[in-house]
Amino acid sequence: MEGSKPVTEQSGSLDVTIVGGGMITNDLLLPSLYHLQRTGVIRKIDICALDSSPLKALAESGELREAFPGQSFTPHPAFAVAPDKKFPELYKEVITGMAAGNMVVVAVPDHLHYETVRYALQHDQNVLCVKPLVLKYDEAVEIEKLAAEKGRLVGIEYHKRFDRRSLVAKRGYERGEFGAFVLGEAKLIEPYYYRFSNFQNWFTCDHTDPFTYIGCHYVDLVYFITGLKPVEVSVYGVKGRFPNGKEAYLWSQGRVIWENGALLSVLNGLGYPDAAAGSNDQGLVVYCEGKGRTGLIFHDDHQRGVAYSYLEGIGPGGSQYNYVSPDFFRLVPWEGPGYKPIGYGYESVAGITQTIHRIGNQTAGLAADAALARRRELVREVDAQGLLATPANSSINELVVEAARMSILQGAAAVRIVYGDHPHIELG
Ligand SMILES: NC(=O)c1ccc[n+]([C@@H]2O[C@H](COP(=O)([O-])OP(=O)(O)OC[C@H]3O[C@@H](n4cnc5c(N)ncnc54)[C@H](O)[C@@H]3O)[C@@H](O)[C@H]2O)c1
């Protein structure tokens, strides 16, 4: 047929460098990107870590091998390099070696996001960054400006946005089906066994707290569903000690006031019983005011209607009886080899990656100036649509986290978020 082209000539595939080879790369990012590789969106995957040990673990993972037979990545440093040799700057060499317009996935600890994202943008790459983008509002603004200058997309991976129930609620809220948000409660309590992990080395009072680490997911979600901005935050933290003796906020309650006067209470902690059906406890309740009646959004994100009792203690925390979420991330049989990832975790990674891929294809073949102008337009459309979190449309999250840290360290002081030309926080 005239005008018809072979599929292979129609669209390029992305080269991807993942910086960071830890838990989130193993559990979510790499399996999602492997699947996008076999569906043609991605061509080649490189992974950089601080040393070779996590890279070996990823390559030797029985689960990943079984799900993605024959697929692999290029490790930096190489597998054979001694694990005690550290390479904190190696990611720069790898990114410098990438052709412009590909994708860097940032999955290093929170405090390294800023410099890694910036380096990737300076080298003309698109970015998928795990939450939080950065720790300071001013850094988010700087990244937003740099991304706009380069016409590259920075997508922040807030996967709860892609949970179908969030998307259904967002559409309903926008259509006025519930009324106006007035009072809400969100809860995310992570398992007790987290206290025995590497958390005990970094989850200390001076660095973070349960609200900052996981409460932000639900604050982002209420912003995503309602479009309302938070204007005041106060967080009370309950201290305790990790097994290694380090002091931390192990429980917290956040109180967030919104621009229309609504109130959201956010309960967080590291303490859902290992013996309980889990792996954690979470959910969202939002009450709304309408004309002559009230509306309600109720999401039980903990018990999603599936419970399994295993023969052995293979559940989280060694439990046998469990609530199983088929909604976040699971590897399941599909029409191809191995298993495919399903769930909102996968859809969130795919949503960002496919948008970067689409923008690349829509501007391929244009002269450099025209391509840059068109990319900037397309990125502005993504910002305005508000589905993918970008620095331009989600930096309320950086303001909330800054306010929360100031508040918790001052015994739940009220901290205001002031918008306008120069958004900032102030002790209330
Ligand atoms: N729900 C979520 O959205 C979610 C869940 C878990 C983690 N995260 C985020 O993901 C990020 C990583 O978390 P994690 O649990 O995978 O951490 P992790 O400690 O398991 O892994 C961190 C990885 O970063 C690598 N690294 C450190 N410094 C590096 C450097 N200079 N160059 C290259 N690699 C370097 C380490 O080698 C390690 O592989 C954090 O920002 C965390 O907040 C998000």
Residue-wise pLDDT for 378-398, tens only, equals 999 999 999 999 999 999 999
Rounded mean pLDDT of 51-73?
97
CA of 117 to the centre of ligand 1 (A): 14
Structure tokens at 3: 């005008």
Question: Which residue is associated with the tokens 């939450």?
Answer: 131
Q: What amino acid is encoded at 8 in this protein?
A: T
| Ligand 1 atom 6: residue of nearest CA | 24
Residue 191's SS3 state is: strand
Mutate-to-test residue for ligand 1 from 108, 112, 118, 202, highest number of ligand atoms within 8 A of CB: 108
Calpha distance 32→246 (Å, rounded): 35
pLDDT for the residue numbered 343:
98
CB neighbours of 318 closer than 8 A, spacing ≥ 6? 274
pLDDT for the residue numbered 11:
66
- Lowest model confidence (mean pLDDT) among 96-105, 201-210, 372-381: 201-210
CB neighbours of 422 closer than 8 A, spacing ≥ 6? none
Strand order in the sheet with 180-191: 294-300, 281-289, 180-191, 263-272, 247-258, 230-241, 415-418, 424-427
Q: How far is CA 370 from the centre of its chain?
A: 32
pLDDT of 75 higher than 80? yes
Helix (H) and strand (E) counts for the chain? Answer: 16, 18
**In which band, very low, low, confident or very high, does the pLDDT at 144 lie, cut at 50, 70 and 90?**
very high
pLDDT of 131 higher than 70? yes
Indicate if the alpha-carbon torsion angle 155, 157, 158, 162 is positive or negative: positive
Asked whether 130 lines ligand 1 (CB < 6 A), one says yes
- Plot region of 40 (φ>0 → left; ψ -120 to 50 → alpha; else → beta): left
In order of 34, 167, 262, 277, 350, the CA distances from 10 in angstroms are 21, 31, 49, 48, 19
- Lowest model confidence (mean pLDDT) among 138-152, 188-202, 337-351, 403-417: 188-202
**In which band, very low, low, confident or very high, does the pLDDT at 199 lie, cut at 50, 70 and 90?**
confident
Asked whether 186 lines ligand 1 (CB < 6 A), one says no
**In which band, very low, low, confident or very high, does the pLDDT at 279 lie, cut at 50, 70 and 90?**
confident
| Ligand 1 atom 40: residue of nearest CA | 109
Asked whether 91 lines ligand 1 (CB < 6 A), one says yes
> Residue 213 carries which DSSP code?
I
pLDDT for the residue numbered 228:
98
Indicate if the alpha-carbon torsion angle 209, 210, 213, 216 is positive or negative: negative
CA of 262 to the centre of ligand 1 (A): 34
pLDDT for the residue numbered 198:
84
- Averaged pLDDT score across all residues of the chain: 95
Mutate-to-test residue for ligand 1 from 17, 19, 23, 115, highest number of ligand atoms within 8 A of CB: 23
Q: Which residues of 363-390 are buried (b: 16+ CB within 10 A; e: fewer)?
A: beeeeeeebbeebbebbeebbeebebbb
Q: What is the pTM of this model?
A: 0.95
Rounded mean pLDDT of 100-125?
96
Instruction: Show the DSSP H helices in 48-160 as ranges.
Output: 52-60, 62-67, 90-96, 113-122, 137-150
Rounded mean pLDDT of 98-110?
96
CA of 23 to the centre of ligand 1 (A): 7
pLDDT of 10 higher than 60? no
pLDDT of 122 higher than 70? yes
pLDDT for the residue numbered 3:
74
pLDDT of 305 higher than 90? yes
Strand order in the sheet with 14-19: 74-76, 42-48, 14-19, 103-106, 126-130, 154-157
- Could you identify the atom of ligand 1 that is nearest to the CA of residue 88? 31
pLDDT for the residue numbered 362:
92
Calpha distance 175→254 (Å, rounded): 29
CB neighbours (10 Å) of residue 227?
A: 13
CB neighbours (10 Å) of residue 304?
A: 15
Structure tokens at 212: 């900052």
**In which band, very low, low, confident or very high, does the pLDDT at 289 lie, cut at 50, 70 and 90?**
very high
What percentage of residues in the chain have a pLDDT greater than 70?
98
Q: pLDDT by residue (tens digit) across 343-375?
A: 999 999 999 999 999 999 999 989 999 999 999
